[in-house]
Copies of this chain bind each other. A is one copy, B any other.
Amino acid sequence: MLILKPGQALNLWHKAMLAQVRDDDPDLTTRQMAILLTVYLDPPPHTVRGLAAQLEVTKPVITRALDTMGIMGLVARRRDERDRRNVLVQRTVDGAEYLQRLGDLIANEAIETA
């Protein structure tokens, strides 16, 4: 249970967005970020179809986002050997570190938020 007034929420959101824009890494799109967080915060397994359903987007959106974030090293793909039609989306060390930094960043800015 966390108390956060709308004005505080916007200030926090603002600072986090600014930090994302200013750092040198290319920005993730909103959809990519939503996929990344779902993979790391929701319990596995994660499939393309499942992610598409949860985000309410089409499957090619997931495939392309996994392509991009795979190149970045933020997620990995593996075929499901029990049903070889499925692709299992897996976490990576780099992805875990990336999100850990993001969490720390937001938390630190929250402390300074009026």
Contact = CB atoms under 8 A, between A and B. Distances in A.
Q: How large is the interface on A (under 10, 10 to 19, 20 to 34, 35 or more residues)?
A: 35 or more
A3 B110 contact: yes
Given A16-B13, A30-B28, A55-B18, A6 B103 contact: yes
A83 interface: no
Contacts of A11: 41
A72 interface: no
Given A17-B33, A21-B56, 11 more contacts: A1-B111, A6-B103, A7-B103, A9-B103, A10-B99, A11-B41, A17-B34, A18-B55, A27-B30, A27-B31, A29-B29
A99 to B, nearest CB: 6
